Structures are given as C-alpha cells and as structure tokens.
Amino acid sequence: MADESIAMKELREVFADLDTLLKNPDVGAELTTRGINVSLAIVAAEALLSYVEGDRERAAEDFDTVAEEIKARLAMSKAGKDGPS
C-alpha cells in the first residue's frame, strides 16, 4: 500500500470516519430508534470498503450476510415480531 493513491487514502479515511460514527453511542441510539441494526450497518460498510479495495470475494460474502439478515429481520417484523432491522 506504499503506492496508494491520494484518492484511495481519502476514501479509506471516509470509511474510517463512518466506522467511528456507527460505533458512536448517540448515532447507535438514533439508528436503533429507526429500526436499524448498527452491527449490520457496520458489516455493510465493511463490505463496500472491501469492494472498492478490490476484495470482491469478501465483499460478496459480507453483502450476502447483510442481505440475508435484513430479509430475515424484515420477515420477522412483518410477522409482528418487531426488533432492530
């Protein structure tokens, strides 16, 4: 990574900031009140970072995990078992 472009460094910094924000208790509380599961949001952000870094295999695996979890949580909420999605 010694030859990393400025653009990729900036992009990586944005993802680091996003990770920090998602782990912030106030942000977590706000997202939870909106029915968003913070852990899933973090995995989704990590998946996108993996993708833009070129690690498509990890990105696909993480995106699959996020999609499956969201679908399962959505199905549970539709069945009347609300919880953070």
Extract the tokens encoding 67: 């999609």
For 23-39, how does the pLDDT look when each residue is reduced to its tens digit (9 = 90+)? Answer: 999 999 999 999 999 99
Distance between CA atoms of residues 64 and 66, nearest Å: 5
| CB contact at 8 A, 66 and 40 | yes
Distance between CA atoms of residues 71 and 53, nearest Å: 26
pTM (two decimals): 0.84
All structural domains of the chain with their residue ranges = 6-78
Percent of the chain with pLDDT over 90: 84
6: phi then psi, degrees, rounded to nearest 5: -60, -40
Percent of the chain with pLDDT over 70: 92
Distance between CA atoms of residues 60 and 62, nearest Å: 6
